[in-house]
Amino acid sequence: MMKLFTLLTAAACAATMIGCSNDAKVTSPDGRIQTIVSLDEAGVPSLRVEVDKQALIAPSRLGLEAVDRNLASGFEIETVEKDHRDETWTQPWGENREIRDCHNEIAVRMHNPEGVALTLRIRAFDDGVGFRYEYDTPADSLLIMDELTQLNFARDGLSWSIDGNYDTYELPYREQAISAVERANTPFTFRIGDLYGSIHEAALYDYPEMHLLRKDSLSFKAELAPLPDGVKARVGGSFTTPWRTLQIGRRAVDLINSALILNLNEPSKIADTSWIKPQKYVGVWWGMHLGTQVWTMGPRHGATTENAIRHIDFAAANHIQGVLFEGWNRGWENWGGNQQFDYVEPYADFDLERIARYAAEKGIELWMHNETGGNIPDYEARMEEAMKRYAELGVHTLKTGYAGGIKGGYSHHSQYGVQHYQRVVEMAARYGIMLDVHEPIKETGIRRTWPNMMTREGGRGMEWNAWSEGNSSEYLCTLPYVRLLSGPMDYTPGIFDIYYDRAKADPGRIQWNGDNTHCSIKTTLARQIANWVIIYSPLQMAADLIENYEGHPAFQFFRDFDADCDWSEALQGEIGDWIVVARRAGDRFYLGAGTNAEARTIDQSLAFLRPDVTYKARIYADRTDDTLRTSYRIEERRLTAADTLRIEMAPDGGCAVTFEPVNE
């Protein structure tokens, strides 16, 4: 008969933790953050976190629950090993090309009478803490039934999160008191007093994803996405969990500027990364969501040879590196049915070989798209054949999709899902293919280890504006402080036809989810431009129909924009209210600012520019004297690092700026 081992009750743990003297401590390099590990009288480990000698996380129990093996109690500390690291490493791409990793570490090694050895490894950074479990047991394999990790807030505060869900992240943000949250996915961002923080995880490879489940007013437990039989994870007798992370800052933007998640991942496993190149792209995509085009072959088919040539020509004429085609391959007629797609054979009206040759002649990267509909067994049976074919065609970028229930009753975010997504990443690396993943496993920094994992969806993206209530400007002012803390997002920004005038004039338009005549973009055009800077992705799309860009003066911003940045910094903002971000690519800088439904004027120091250099600044801003969201103005000025830029934004508005050095 199977036996489950678990911890003592929370009340018993709390009573014994206080008097425990069997402690191990690690302090951040700047001395402000201290993490303390304790064992109670029953040998149950706990953790607490203090910032400036004030409790942030009160004593919180740790451990896992397994079948026929005690992973949670009876431990004694054998040794506490200490380490310090301060080094700088370089990414092949990223928000910042150079990353500093400065942390103190303790490895608390303990064992229990059942022969289980546990190393609790904790790394303390100036901007937060990461900890993970490293187990070594006498068993050959284990069934993990629960993770008992708790995070008990010392006091209440305000939080921003989406609901905890095992299958989707495409949910609205909620601003709630911490004590009012029932469950939440991560990143889980909060403010307590004058501290900002965010709970997430790092290095998720072979384990279910975690969300938070409230146990009482301020106590949250790690909840793992289950397999269909209720088991949370099948692991070896010796295994390591992902890191549980807590980012901490004095300002909201400190969370955005943190590299803690990346630093908790291993260095790249891809030796030659020269083929991994950030790029801008356009594609056949938005028309499907507007209902002016369809994925299947017929009179409204979007992915045709003629349309492909037109998009390739547009990209070549506008300094855009890539073109994406959805609905190019046979099988879309099975959508909503058996979910079987052909990942090699194109529709008859899409001459794949001719298009690939033409793209190569024009110097344009051809993107392929693989929608699986959640039919993972079918996709895994075909994906190597498909990737081999794409490599033969000179394709280096693949967008994948998983819109649909996964066969076998598996949830997207279970260990089964995590393992599948990782197999795809590694297979793609073998064939020199970069990935843009929709309906993904959330980003946990694995792009450091597998830098061909470029960008992911993992949130309510642009398409929600085509056939629903849409994404508000407040949502867009929350996104950088929550979802984007985990990594790049393929939000697909940049719609210029704000009110969908072109689509609504099409008499044959197909409307999704009922009447779509009320749908529109909920921000100004200037904010749409600013989103190319604010919403980081190394694969950045100009998502509108290309005919809405042709001849448009404001499209010059995207022509000038470089997705391959070297440096980035979130300069100022508050969660849900506003955001200002600057990036540099080569010798050019780009700035993006956005506000919520409140008109806002802010002063922004330009000290981030290089000193003693004069820049030609081209400013794309709202017309504050006009309530139409399509109204904008373009202004050119000479500015330096000594200047301050006054940014005036209309309600739901924004501002974007390119800074180009002037040779004088």
Q: pLDDT tens-digit profile of 220-258?
A: 999 999 999 999 999 999 999 999 999 999 999 999 999
Residues 6 or more apart whose Cβ sits within 8 Å of residue 191: 157, 158, 159, 197, 252, 575
Give the mean model confidence (pLDDT) for residues 73-92: 98
Tens digit of pLDDT for each residue in 514-553? Answer: 888 899 999 999 999 999 999 999 999 999 999 999 999 9
Give the pLDDT band of residue 72 (cuts 50, 70, 90): very high
SS3 279: strand
Residue 175 has pLDDT above 80, yes or no: yes
Residue 7 has pLDDT above 90, yes or no: no
Distance CA 350, CA 393 (A): 14
SS3 202: strand
Of the two residues 627 and 658, the one the predictor is more confident about is: 658
Tens digit of pLDDT for each residue in 331-369? Answer: 999 988 889 999 999 999 999 999 999 999 999 999 999
Residue 3 has pLDDT above 50, yes or no: no
Give the pLDDT band of residue 10 (cuts 50, 70, 90): very low
Say what the pLDDT of residue 641 is: 98
Residue 12 has pLDDT above 60, yes or no: no
CA-based nearest residue to 39, from 11, 4, 63? 63
Give the pLDDT band of residue 20 (cuts 50, 70, 90): very low
Amino acid code (one letter) for 663: N
Distance CA 371, CA 507 (A): 29
What is the pTM for the complete model shown?
0.95
Beta bridge partners of 437: 400, 456
Beta bridge partners of 224: 210
Tens digit of pLDDT for each residue in 250-303? Answer: 999 999 999 999 999 999 999 999 999 999 999 999 999 999 999 999 999 999
CA atoms within 13 A on the CB side of 392: 9
Of the two residues 110 and 515, the one the predictor is more confident about is: 110
Give the pLDDT band of residue 96 (cuts 50, 70, 90): very high
- The residues assigned a catalytic role are 463
Are 280 and 322 in contact, with CB atoms under 8 Å apart?
Answer: yes
Give the mean model confidence (pLDDT) for residues 24-37: 98
Pairing of strands 279-284, 539-541: parallel
Tens digit of pLDDT for each residue in 411-441? Answer: 999 999 999 999 999 999 999 999 999 999 9
Pairing of strands 45-51, 54-61: antiparallel
Are 276 and 270 in contact, with CB atoms under 8 Å apart?
Answer: yes
CA-based nearest residue to 103, from 81, 88, 77, 123? 123
Q: Please provide the DSSP assignment of 597-638 as one string.
A: SS-EEEEEE-TTSPTT--EEEEEEEE-TT---TT-EEEEEEE
Residue 14 has pLDDT above 70, yes or no: no
Are 77 and 24 in contact, with CB atoms under 8 Å apart?
Answer: yes
Tens digit of pLDDT for each residue in 456-505? Answer: 999 999 999 999 999 999 999 999 999 999 999 999 999 999 999 999 99
Say what the pLDDT of residue 511 is: 87
Give the mean model confidence (pLDDT) for residues 568-585: 98
Are 363 and 399 in contact, with CB atoms under 8 Å apart?
Answer: no
SS3 109: strand
Say what the pLDDT of residue 199 is: 98
Distance CA 432, CA 453 (A): 11
Say what the pLDDT of residue 664 is: 56
Say what the pLDDT of residue 515 is: 87
Say what the pLDDT of residue 512 is: 83
